[in-house]
Amino acid sequence: MRIIAGIARGMPLVAPRGGNVRPTSDRVREAIFSSLGDRVVGATVLDLFAGTGALGLEAASRGANSVVFVESAHSALKILRQNIETFRRGRKISCEIAVVRADVFAQVTKFVAAQKKFSLIFADPPYGETAQTLLNVSDLRRALDDEGLFVLESAKRDSLTAVPPWTLVREAVYGDTRVSFLAPK
């Protein structure tokens, strides 16, 4: 795994061994960011279920203004912080980076209470019911700018139903991964 493009292009990312964290593959990340294009430049990014930080660090490398990583697993946080340190080392970084150790659902509610908004939200939750649950969390929509985009990864076999307040803009399948691009209605 590596950063695909931008100021940290080619930087290797550390990924844990075992099945606790399932990092977004290079191929899937490349497809996501190709679809996003210039939307990433200057973006305020929220990376939920951050794991290794691959999505948020890719956004930072490509010109995002700020990235907030939210992760609850101690083992994943250790690797996330290591990847962020490697990302910062020897590079002039203008992107503000923050790491929050918290339950994703509780933290999104806190962002809404603080009136914090994001222009891009990435979520790569554990495969299963969590992806559909995210679509039903009204605070998630309130944490997204009106012109923002929510990029959700799920298992290919999980058919998601876009419910108000979401509109499915685009969906693609890469191997076992489904990527849904959702906009607020």
Q: What is the reported pLDDT for 18?
A: 63
Radius of gyration of the chain (CA): 15
What's the angle, vertex CA 99, arms to CA 104 and CA 179, rounded to 5? 55
At 17, list the tokens: 């061994």
The model's pTM is 0.93
E strands, the chain, where?
A: 44-48, 66-71, 96-101, 118-123, 144-155, 166-174, 177-184
User: What local confidence, expressed as pLDDT, does residue 21 receive?
Assistant: 63
Residue count of the chain, please give it. 185
* Residue 33 neighbours by CB distance under 10 Å: 20
What are 88-132's pLDDT values in tens digits?
997 888 899 999 999 999 999 999 999 999 999 999 988 776 788
Superfamily of domain 26-184: Vaccinia Virus protein VP39 (3.40.50.150)
Helix and strand totals (H; E) in the chain: 6, 7
In this structure, the strands spanning 166-174 and 177-184 are antiparallel
Q: What 8-state DSSP symbol labels residue 104?
A: H
| C-beta separation of 125 from 95 below 8 A | no
For the chain, give every domain's residue range.
26-184
Spell out, as residue ranges, where the chain has pLDDT lower than 50: none
Both structure tokens of 170: 């685009």
Separation between Cα atoms, residue 45 and residue 20, nearest integer Å: 24
